[in-house]
Amino acid sequence: MYRSKTFSIRKDIEEIKKDIKNAGAIYGARVRKVFFEDGNAFVVKPEILIELTEYCYAIHPNLKKVSAYAHAKDIIKKSDEDLKKIADSGFTMVYVGIESGDDDVLMACKKGATQDEFTLAAQKCHKAGISWSDIFLLGIAGNDRQKSRKHAIESAKLINRMAPPTPI
C-alpha cells in the first residue's frame, strides 16, 4: 500500500499542532473523531503521541475518539506503562492490518509480524485500555482451496486469541 511513499516522520510538532488547530478553525465543534493517518502512528515516541492526543482534546471540545493505524511490533516495543499513559491521554483505538492468521501467508505478504506478535500486541492494548480493531484480507491466500481454508481457520483462531478478556 505504501511502497510508492518514502518513509518519514514529521518532526516539527508545532507544525502538526498548527494543522490540528487549523482543522478546529474549519470544522469547529463538529469534530468528534481524530485519526492520525498514514501507516503507523505508533512508530513515534510515546511522549509525542501523548502530546498530540492531549492537544487534539484541547482544541476540539466535543472530541470523543482519537485513533490511528499501528503495527504490532511498534506496540510491543512500548512498555505497558507507556501504553497506559497513551490511553490516559485520550487515545482510544488502534487499527491493525493483520491480513491473515496464517504465518505462511503473513511471511509471503511480508507483513513483518507473526500470530504470536499480533496476539501480544492486542493483549498489551487491552491491558492499557486502548481498543483494538483488526483488519483481515479474506482473499489474501489466493485461489488454492487448501491455503484459503488454512488462512480462514488460522485467522479465526487468531481473532479468538486476540479478543479482549470477557468478565464472567
CATH number of the domain at 147, please: 3.20.20.70
Residue 103 domain-assigned? yes
**Mean of per-residue pLDDT scores for the chain:** 91
The pLDDT-based confidence of 73 (bands split at 50, 70, 90) is: very high
In single-letter form, the type of residue at position 113 comes to A
Per the structure, the complete domain to which residue 135 belongs is given by: 13-162
Mean pLDDT value across residues 147-162: 95
- Residue 167 — very low, low, confident or very high, per pLDDT cuts 50/70/90? confident
Q: Rounded to the nearest 10 degrees, how much is the dihedral formed by the CA atoms of 11, 17, 23, 25?
A: -150
**Helix (H, G, I), strand (E, B), or coil: what is residue 132?**
strand
Overall pTM surpassing 0.75 (yes/no) = yes
Domains of the chain: total: 1
Q: How confident is the model at residue 152 (pLDDT cuts 50, 70, 90)?
A: very high
Confidence of residue 60 (pLDDT cuts 50, 70, 90): very high
Give the Cα separation of 36 and 137 in Å (integer): 22
